[in-house]
Amino acid sequence: MSNSGDIGFDEIASPVKMGNRLWSRTRGDKVIWAAVLLLALVSVLVVYSSTGLLAYKMNKGNTEIYLFKQIVFIAIGLAVIYFSHLVNYTVYARVARILFLISIPLLIYTFFFGVRLNEGSRWIRLPIINLTFQTSDLAKLALFMYLGRLLSKKQDVIKDFRKGFLPVITPVVVICALIAPANLSTALLVGATSMLLLFIGRASAKHLLLTIGVAAVPVILLVTIALSYYDSSEGRSKELPGVLSVGRLPTWIKRVQNFVYSNKEIDKDENYQVNQAKIAISKGGMLGLGPGNSETRNFLPHPYSDFIYAIIIEEYGIIGGAFIILIYLIFLFRCIRIFRKCPYAFGAFLALGLSFTLVIQALINMAVTVNLFPVTGVTLPLVSMGGSSFLFTCLAIGIILSVARNVEQLEGKEPVPEVKA
Element (H, E) at 81: helix 65-85
Residue 119, pLDDT score = 54
- Among 344, 368, 312, 363, residue whose Cα is nearest residue 153: 344
Separation of alpha carbons 119 and 93, rounded Å: 36
- Please answer whether residues 311 and 296 qualify as being in contact, where contact means their C-beta atoms are separated by less than 8 angstroms: yes
- Among 198, 170, 257, residue whose Cα is nearest residue 222: 257
Element (H, E) at 320: helix 308-341
Residue 262, pLDDT score = 72
In a structure prediction context, what are the per-residue pLDDT tens digits for the chain, which is 421 residues long? 444 444 454 544 565 665 566 656 677 789 999 999 999 999 999 999 888 777 666 666 666 888 888 999 999 999 999 999 999 998 999 899 999 999 999 999 888 887 766 556 677 877 766 677 889 999 999 999 999 999 999 999 999 999 999 999 999 999 999 999 888 889 999 999 999 999 999 999 999 999 999 999 999 999 998 888 887 776 677 888 877 777 788 888 888 888 888 766 545 666 788 889 999 999 999 999 999 888 888 888 888 888 999 999 999 999 999 999 999 999 999 999 999 998 888 999 999 999 999 999 999 999 999 888 888 878 999 999 878 889 999 999 999 999 999 888 776 644 444 444 4
Residue 15, pLDDT score = 59
Write out the DSSP string of 61-78. Answer: T-TTHHHHHHHHHHHHHH
- Among 251, 293, 252, 258, residue whose Cα is nearest residue 272: 258
Residue 130, pLDDT score = 67
- Other beta carbons within 10 angstroms of residue 253's beta carbon come to 23
pTM for the whole structure: 0.88
3-state SS assignment for residue 80: helix
Q: Cα 81 vs. chain centroid, distance in angstroms?
A: 15
Residue 415, pLDDT score = 45
Residue 267, pLDDT score = 54
- Other beta carbons within 10 angstroms of residue 332's beta carbon come to 19
Separation of alpha carbons 294 and 284, rounded Å: 9
Write out the DSSP string of 335-387. Answer: HHHHHHH-SSHHHHHHHHHHHHHHHHHHHHHHHHHTTSS-------TTTSPPS
3-state SS assignment for residue 293: coil
Phi, psi (rounded to 5 degrees) for 31: -65, -40
